[in-house]
Amino acid sequence: MKRTALALTLSLALLISAVAGVQTVKAQYTPDGQAFIWVSPLSITSPSNTTYTSNSLTLNVSTKSLVALSDVTMVFNLDGGANVSIPVEKTFVPITVQDVYPNGTTITTISSIWSYYLLNSTVVLPDLSNGGHCLTVYAHYQVPTSVNSVGLDTKTIHFTINNGIPPVISNLSIENKTYNQNNLPVNFTVDEPTSWMGYCLDGRDNVTTTENFTLTELPSGSHTLTIYANDTVGNMGTSSTIAFSVAEPFPTVPVAAVASVAAVAVVGAGLLLFWKRRREAGQA
């Protein structure tokens, strides 16, 4: 009798604990419902609310049920995207108890009160980008003895990916050569989302940019250009430094000046010819 009373007391405590931890939630794929006391709250063991250096993570979520549920489905939602179904494995976990009778006989049996079913789901998450992520798991339970007894539960975690790899800046349009113009468009690409981008021209202070840009009114001579980009977790990428030149513009002479010079040249040639002939006539 003492063992039975103790078992009932502990069982009641377990049920109260389960009730306190389960909420009424709105899952994205099923109507509202009241989570029921025979199932413990969802537990996500990985990933957790921390920062990871790997872009590949495994989701592991589990719960415990005191009854053999006939229908259990789980889905996860990553960063507000589409719901993705995940497989559920149901394993019976027997808990044994010992009964000691007055004659000293000990009998070990499987407890129908303490034994439970472990519902576990494990799935590899899609390749994750650097930055913060939000992961929510929704669970739907159906009690086998009642078509109307449906339980819902949800769990959300926030974590960050920082693999330490800086952004790669490529396809830079400026080349190591001489240009015959002083307004040069600069195009480039970055292989991941950024929190800041900028460039350094001729070793001066960085200039912030949000997209491709144009260098205007460059003076003649040699120049250097470097592009920078920070990803969303602070890793800075740097392009190769490009050394290029802007050629001195070809001098242009007004047409009137050219005509004046030509006229002077003609007059001068005529005078020279005149004086030459007079000299020759005087000698004769």
pLDDT number for residue 272: 59
Same domain, 154 and 176: no
pLDDT of residue 12: 41
How much is the pLDDT for 81?
94
pLDDT band at 282; cut points 50, 70, 90: low
Domain boundary among 106, 135, 161: 161
Assess contact for 133 and 18: CB atoms under 8 A: no
Based on the fold, state whether residues 155 and 187 are members of the same structural domain.
no
**Helix count (H) and strand count (E) of the chain?**
2, 21
**pLDDT tens sequence across 15-67:** 433 333 333 333 333 333 344 556 788 899 999 999 999 999 999 999 888 87
Do 129 and 246 reside in the same domain of the chain? no
182 and 82 share one domain: no
Band (pLDDT 50/70/90 cuts) for residue 96 is confident
Checking if the pLDDT of 231 tops 90, the result is yes
Is 1 contained in some domain?
no
**Of the residues 161, 188, 220, the one at which a domain ends:** 161
Looking at the domain assignment, is residue 18 inside a domain? no
Instruction: Supply the CATH number for residue 226's domain.
Output: 2.60.40.10
The answer to whether position 7 is within a domain reads: no
Look up the domain containing 192 and give its range: 164-278
pLDDT at residue 14, as a whole number: 38
Find the CATH number of the domain harbouring 123.
2.60.40
Check whether residue 96 and residue 178 sit in a common domain. Answer: no
Residue 129 makes CB contacts below 8 A (sequence gap 6+) with 55, 161, 192, 193
Number of domains into which the chain is organized: 2
* One domain for residues 181 and 240: yes
If asked whether residues 193 and 232 sit together in one domain, one would say: yes
Q: List Cβ neighbours of 139 (8 Å cut-off, separation of 6 or more).
A: 42, 61, 63, 72, 73, 74, 151, 152, 153, 154
Looking at the structure, tell me whether residues 218 and 98 fall in a common domain.
no
The pLDDT assigned to 122 comes to 94
Q: Is residue 148 located within the same domain as residue 206?
A: no
pLDDT of residue 126: 94
Percent of the chain with pLDDT over 70: 71
Phi then psi for 258, rounded to 5 degrees?
-60, -40
Whether the model pTM is above 0.75: no
Does 15 fall in a domain? no
Looking at the structure, tell me whether residues 148 and 173 fall in a common domain: no
The 10s digit of each residue's pLDDT in 29-42 is 333 334 455 678 88
pLDDT given for residue 157 in this prediction: 96
Query: Is residue 85 in some structural domain?
Result: yes
Residue 13 lies in a domain: no
Residue 217 maps to a domain: yes
β-bridge pairing 189-190 and 150-161:
unpaired
Whether residue 249 contacts residue 220, with contact meaning beta carbons closer than 8 Å, is answered with yes
pLDDT value at position 98?
A: 84
Higher pLDDT: 73 or 48? It is 48
For residues 216 and 272, state if they share a domain. Answer: yes
Mark which of 103, 131, 161 sits at the end of a domain.
Answer: 161
Alpha helices (runs of H) in the chain, residue ranges in sequence order: 2-21, 255-283
Q: How far is CA 193 from the centre of its chain?
A: 7
Query: pLDDT per residue over 112-161, tens digit each?
Result: 778 888 999 999 999 999 999 999 999 888 766 665 656 778 899 999 99
Residues 142 and 178 in one domain: no
